[in-house]
Amino acid sequence: MLHTVNKSPFDHNTFETCLKFARQGSAVLLIEDGVYAAAAGTAVSKQVQEALKSVSIYALKPDVEARGMQNRVMDGVRLVDYGGFVDLVVEHNAVQSWL
Amino acid sequence: MAQETQDRVSKKFLYVNRKAPYGTIYALESLEVVLIGAAFEQDVSLAFVDDGVYQLTKGQDTKGLEMKNFSPTFRALEDYDVTKLYVEAEALQARGLTEADLVVPVEVVSAQRMAEIMDGQDVILSF
C-alpha cells in the first residue's frame, strides 16, 4: 500500500493517523504541506524516525523545495520527483490518499 | 488638534497568519490584503503563529511547482512602512526553526506577549 499525506503534521492529525494504519513494509509519500513532517529537529521528528523502522517514507521534492525545506530533510526520508511519484503508484497495489 | 485627528484616522490593524504557504491560498491572500491596507497608511502589524511561521522560511524555490514564490515580497514590506512582524517563539521551536531561518527581521515573542499585541489592536484579520 502507498499512503499519501498532504497536510502539515502541526496543523492536522492526518500524518499521525496515516502512521497508525500504515502496515509494515508499506510506503508513505509526503506531498504538499505534508512534507513538513520530513524536516529534522521538529516536534514530530521522533515520531517519523520511529515510523522509518517499519515503513518507507518519501517526500515530493518540488513540494520540499517550494517550502525551503530542502536542507532540512531528515536522514532516511527519500526525495522523489513527479516521475518517482508515478513509480511509487505503479509499484504498489493500492493508494490511500489521506486528506 | 481635534480636527487633525479626525482628518487622519489611523487604526491599528493586525494580520494573523496561521497557514503554511502554497498548500492553501490563505498565506498569499493575506499578503495581498496587507499590501492594500498599507497603501491606506494604517498602522499595520503582522503576526505569525502555528504554521504561519513557514511563510517566512528562507530558501523557498517554487520552480518545480510552477507557482509564484511570494516569500521575497515580505522583504518589500518595509517600503510600505510595514515593519512590525511578530513571530511566536513556540511555533518556531516546534518546527526546528530559529530567527536566522527567516527571510526578514522579525520580533520573536512569547504567546503571552502575542496575546498582549492582539489585545492592543482596533482591527484583526485572521488568515
**Domain count along chain A:** 1
Question: Exposure pattern of B63-91 as b/e (b: 16+ CB <10 Å)?
Answer: eebeeebbbebbeebeeeebebbbbbbbb
For residue A70, the enclosing domain spans 2-98
CATH of the domain at A70: 3.40.1260.10
Name residue, grid cell 482596533. B122
Note the pLDDT of residue B33.
94
Residue A91 has pLDDT above 70, yes or no: yes
The size of the A-B interface in CB pairs under 8 A is: 75
- Assign a CATH topology to domain B10-59+69-126: Hypothetical Protein Ychn; Chain: A, (3.40.1260)
B94 neighbourhood in chain A, CB within 8 Å: 10, 42-43
Which pLDDT belongs to residue A77? 98
DSSP H helices, chain A, are 14-21, 45-51, 61-66, 82-91
- Quick: pLDDT tens for B49-67: 999 999 999 999 999 999 9
Res B8: pLDDT: 67
Residue predicted with more confidence, A89 or B3:
A89
Q: What is the ipTM, given to two decimal places?
A: 0.91
The whole-angstrom distance between A38's CA and the closest CA on chain B is: 11
Which residues touch B32 (CB under 8 Å, ≥6 apart)? none
- What does pTM read for this prediction? 0.92
**A25 vs B: CB within 8 A:** no
Cross-chain CB nearest to B65 (options A6, A40, A62): A62
| pLDDT, tens digit, 9 for 90 and up, residues B67-115 | 999 999 999 999 999 999 999 999 999 999 999 999 999 999 999 999 9
From the CA of A80, how many Å to the nearest CA of chain B? 12
